[in-house]
Amino acid sequence: MRTIYDIIDEVLVQLGVSTTVAFYTDQILNDWADKAHKWGAGYKKWPFTEARLSTTYVVDDTDTEIGFPYPEGWKPDSIRLLRVGGKRFRKVNFYKYQEFREDNSSSQEKIFSDYGNLYFINPRADVSGSTAVWGQYTPKIWDYTDNTALTVFSDYAEEGNEAIVEEIMSYAKKKEKKPQESQLHHANAVRILEEIWQRIKDEQFGYHDTDNDGMFERLDIINGGLRDDTIKRDRWW
């Protein structure tokens, strides 16, 4: 079961009806499929909904605060990594970012923040080139007339399509005014997605931090500032 056609066909088989029945028209089933797919795709931060986008960064010499629009279809606040001209920027709280810009208007610190569907890059940072962002998007099935259209799960975790079927069935049973059956199908959909997520987490155990990663950066209490080589031979001479 890989395509949207396969999913709707399975729903019809389980319902024991055809789309010629006014109670379950093609439009109703397509709307339910779209709703269930969006729900399943957004249920967790799936690795297969991660994305990277690159665009040209225009330096603003007037120091004007510019909000750049989030990539279309991306979830708000989901940009996790941003680079401009190959330089990494640190993400900070939006309100703290505004305070920083007001109190340190000439600072070239490489920071960025986001608010709603916009992200903001410190315009004083001395960088140029292209902006590359990594984050999370919500996939959509755009063309329901294409019977070969795949879901977000099709090439990565096909059992996720079974969760979509279960969620559509929950909508159908709700329409039939059978709340208990509706809840049962929804619970089955959740269980399937949770099992997929657990498998993904089990695979991620092998990720390791780099040697210089840590919760805190080391502070040079004598000279001030953050340093990576605080402890070294002849440090106190």
User: Above 90 in pLDDT, residue 75?
Assistant: no
Q: How many CA atoms lie within 13 A of 78 on its CB side?
A: 24
User: Above 60 in pLDDT, residue 133?
Assistant: yes
Instruction: Specify whether 40 is located in the same domain as 70.
Output: no
- DSSP for 11-67, please give it: HHHHHT--TTSGGG-HHHHHHHHHHHHHHHHHSS--GGGEEEEEEEEPP-TT----E
Instruction: Specify whether 186 is located in the same domain as 170.
Output: yes
Q: Give the strand pairing for 87-91 and 111-115.
A: parallel
User: Above 90 in pLDDT, residue 172?
Assistant: yes
Domain ranges, residue 19: 4-46+152-203
pLDDT, position 212: 58
The answer to whether 65 touches 120, Cβ cutoff 8 Å, is yes
What's the rounded mean pLDDT across residues 74-83? 90
Instruction: Specify whether 23 is located in the same domain as 70.
Output: no
pLDDT digits (tens, 9 = 90+) for 150-165: 898 998 899 999 999 9
User: Above 80 in pLDDT, residue 236?
Assistant: no
What's the rounded mean pLDDT across residues 103-112? 91
pLDDT, position 23: 82
Residue 226 lies in a domain: no
Instruction: Specify whether 111 is located in the same domain as 66.
Output: yes
Residue 72 lies in a domain: yes
Residue keyed to tokens 């109190």:
103
Mean residue pLDDT across the chain: 84
User: Above 90 in pLDDT, residue 10?
Assistant: yes
pLDDT, position 61: 62
Instruction: Specify whether 111 is located in the same domain as 58.
Output: yes
What's the rounded mean pLDDT across residues 95-103? 92
pLDDT digits (tens, 9 = 90+) for 183-218: 999 999 999 999 999 999 888 776 666 665 555 555
Beta bridge partners of 68: 119
| pLDDT band at 235; cut points 50, 70, 90 | very low
